[in-house]
Structure 1
């Protein structure tokens, strides 16, 4: 019961968490919260400009070398172009003091631009850096009309005075994401130095990062739009503002990604931050959470249903599968809650999922129940039954899912979502097969142990019975010899008679040696001989009556079951009184049992039955011969007696 309560608590608590956060989608709640409580504008600028909302990866110059330089390669630059570039480099050095910003030739210490000296030997090193790696740090700026033969698409901007700027679009091509864009300027002679510098600065800065096409409605009212404000190229309007400077400083700092993560998790819900930074990683986290909860649920379910049998065999299938289907729906809900910030899951939708899971459970459990009953009647060997059950388990779980699969999985493409569910069905099929196999092996071992234990018990019983019989003979012999010794000087005739009776008793024991059972008639005759001996000893003070139903004389009873009872009646009954003693032995049928009763007129039993070797022998004989099917009890009223009830053969 505790396990079921734990399962219900897990489900209810999680539902409360999901429902409490699903009045609006997470993205809408974040938008409203940002409107009411604005975040840091500089970090928001970075968030929407540098990140695509799917991965924490951002582009910057030479991603292979975090501490690498920023190098420029000029081609056909005029004096004014060179001066403008030099001033731009000085401004950038002041903004990024820890970054090396130089011309390629100056960094290499020799003129290598526009030559094939290094291009034909990519492994040649410059300051211990292979040229093919250093090349990703170089921004090529050309002041001429772009070469039409240059590989890849280009983006062109025509300026108001007829000048134009073109850029390679390599950053958008998968194979060139590491290499900076190349830029070609074609300036009219009439363009001013200030405009020339503005355009060069804009294009140079835009090569240092990649801008994503995210919506920036919250920045629509900014009059002085920055260099990185729009993914589109607008060099004639954009200004290098403070937000652009903040972006560059953070992007080229040593721990940029850590700073951004810290900002996101500090200012946004963890689900939103996690999905924005890395959707793939968030999906992996969601799967880990589901697997963890799934293992916990499985342990609780297995602990509850293991070896549990219900009155109706169909329920042995229905209840476990119901919990499996409910938890599958529950896991789908958790997965969607974690990775989809635009989804909302209402109580009604949760109820639909429960109803759907219950319908599926009826179909699956009924199919498995009917199939298992069918193959059970075919008398197939265990291996074939196991294979068929594994295969049909997989089929049974898949049929209803394939029939309405697209309708049950919310917010996901069916083909993408069904793959992990298919894996779950395979795991369940093989898991069930493993449990069937283990149960079969365990039952086989139990059966073998039961057979072995039965043999050991039987051998032990034989040994104990022989031991008890060996105990009875010396015990009785001791008492009889004492009686003979007491009469030897008083009455030779009685001594002779007692000796002959004792001889008859031992003749009986010798003839029955090795046997465990005797008949009522033979055991009563033994008791009669014993009482004849005791009557010689007690004389007229002892009277005995033997009342045995004739139809029971051939019934089998354990050897020596009667004599200890009669001996106990004499020792603790008749011998304790001065007057006439009476012993009555009754054997009759009562329902389907034999009732054996020994009555005496001695003192009442006090504080329970008188203990002793004789009665312990009777206890042991009953236990070894009948287990818990026989009973022994005693009473003082209406007449003092000891009774044994044993099953009739």
Structure 2
């Protein structure tokens, strides 16, 4: 595990090793104390005093398994086979050490075995054999394996949770960065055409109109750059920004562009992602209005239906087999026609409203195309 992952891992709300370690062996003592007291009471010579040998066994096990933590922490990157070998051999080694300690404690309390004399090499019991120290070693080995399994299981769980969270955070940050990049990537054609129109107005001497266009342009750019792409705004504010953009475009196209709004009062207060409609209108201007000599119409509507907000942008552009037609045939998702702005809308809707939105493009009955967006109704 590299340092960045390890540091992130350590920041998660993982319980302390020492707390879990202590609680685990305390549970071991409590379980066997209860067994001896209630289920094996006929064979329990010590009564409540059976608690003391169990405590000694638990303490010795806790002390012996504590170093395993440092061994296992260095084994995360081992191949599976070598990891299993390490766990089994380490557990067996601890069991070999723990079993005599546990047995001596039990003999001392149950049989009055002279542990101190035995450690000094005295012949304390003629019937004693050395192998008796390792009786029930399989039981001890199993208990240490359980401890090792719990150690790896808990750590792998929190590691998986942490790495999953890191992955989700990375995706979110990547998405936010992408949205901000696209938000700052103002269409150069729009800026060029707008500045060219302002220059033309200045040359004609229409300074008042040119100044108004500059003011609207600066206000629109400020709105588009200052808003947080992760935050939502009221539809009313979105439409105000859209009107600024359309006023700039109407100055360019003059009588060639007519805009109609049909917005329900209830819909104006609902929340929508900022700059949701502007790329759609820009797309209509580029592929419909700019291709017409006169009579260009863009209709923008918003209404509530079935607890959803319906947004529609339609134009009356020429219905010919051009890029726009291919755009519809390919379901608006797999085409270069839409550009980064509209593709950004599609991706934003997927992230903000997973499985709760619709994005449809259709041909109008007479001519032109209509884009329809359906999102959940959301109050500020």
What TM-score do you get using the length of structure 1 for normalisation? 0.32
2:317 aligns to what? 602
**Does 2:259 correspond to 1:530?**
no
**Whole-Å separation in 2 of the counterparts to 1:520 and 1:510:** 18
Structure with more helix by fraction: 2
Conserved 8 A contact 2:270-2:377: yes
| Aligned length, in residue pairs | 242
Pick the aligned partner of 1:481 from 167, 176, 195. 195
**Whole-Å separation in 2 of the counterparts to 1:640 and 1:544:** 15
1:521 aligns to what? 236
Pick the aligned partner of 2:157 from 440, 443, 450. 443
**Does 2:352 correspond to 1:635?**
no
Shift of 1:572: 0.7
2:340 aligns to what? 613
Shift of 1:488: 4.7
**Whole-Å separation in 1 of the counterparts to 2:339 and 2:238:** 21
2:375 aligns to what? 646
Pick the aligned partner of 2:183 from 469, 472, 490. 469
RMSD over aligned Cα atoms? 3.7
Conserved 8 A contact 2:255-2:294: no
Shift of 1:456: 3.5
**Which structure has the greater CA radius of gyration?**
1
Structure-2 change in CA distance of 1:581 and 1:508 (3 Å): same
**Whole-Å separation in 1 of the counterparts to 2:306 and 2:25:** 49
SS in 1 for 2:371: strand
Conserved 8 A contact 1:629-1:647: yes
Question: Which blocks of at least 5 consecutive residues in structure 2 are unaligned?
Answer: 1-18, 40-135
2:80 aligns to what? none
Conserved 8 A contact 1:386-1:433: no
- The list of structure 1 runs, each at least 4 consecutive aligned residues, that deviate by more than 6 angstroms after superposition, is 389-392, 422-429
Q: 1:390-469 maps to which residues of 2 (within 5 A)?
A: 434-469=148-183
**Whole-Å separation in 2 of the counterparts to 1:483 and 1:452:** 48
Question: Which blocks of at least 5 consecutive residues in structure 1 are unaligned?
Answer: 1-380, 400-421
SS in 2 for 1:606: helix
**Whole-Å separation in 1 of the counterparts to 2:372 and 2:315:** 12
Conserved 8 A contact 1:465-1:624: no
SS in 2 for 1:632: strand
**Does 2:258 correspond to 1:506?**
no
**Whole-Å separation in 1 of the counterparts to 2:28 and 2:306:** 49
Residues 276-324 of structure 1, C-alpha deviation per residue, up to 9 Å, x if partnerless?
xxxxxxxxxxxxxxxxxxxxxxxxxxxxxxxxxxxxxxxxxxxxxxxxx
**Whole-Å separation in 1 of the counterparts to 2:351 and 2:20:** 38
Conserved 8 A contact 1:487-1:495: yes
Conserved 8 A contact 1:561-1:621: no
Shift of 1:627: 5.5
**Does 2:268 correspond to 1:553?**
yes
Structure-2 change in CA distance of 1:440 and 1:614 (3 Å): same
Structure-2 change in CA distance of 1:592 and 1:423 (3 Å): farther
Residues 537-571 of structure 1, C-alpha deviation per residue, up to 9 Å, x if partnerless?
22222111122222232333222221111000111
Conserved 8 A contact 1:582-1:600: yes
**Whole-Å separation in 2 of the counterparts to 1:427 and 1:647:** 58
**Whole-Å separation in 2 of the counterparts to 1:424 and 1:593:** 65
Conserved 8 A contact 2:176-2:229: no
**Whole-Å separation in 2 of the counterparts to 1:607 and 1:389:** 70
**Whole-Å separation in 1 of the counterparts to 2:274 and 2:180:** 10
Conserved 8 A contact 2:229-2:274: no
Structure-2 change in CA distance of 1:582 and 1:540 (3 Å): same
Conserved 8 A contact 1:502-1:530: yes
What TM-score do you get using the length of structure 2 for normalisation? 0.52
**Whole-Å separation in 2 of the counterparts to 1:466 and 1:613:** 12
Conserved 8 A contact 2:184-2:225: no
Shift of 1:436: 4.1
1:26 aligns to what? none
**Whole-Å separation in 2 of the counterparts to 1:643 and 1:504:** 27
Q: 1:85-484 maps to which residues of 2 (within 5 A)?
A: 382-383=20-21, 384=23, 434-472=148-186, 476-484=190-198
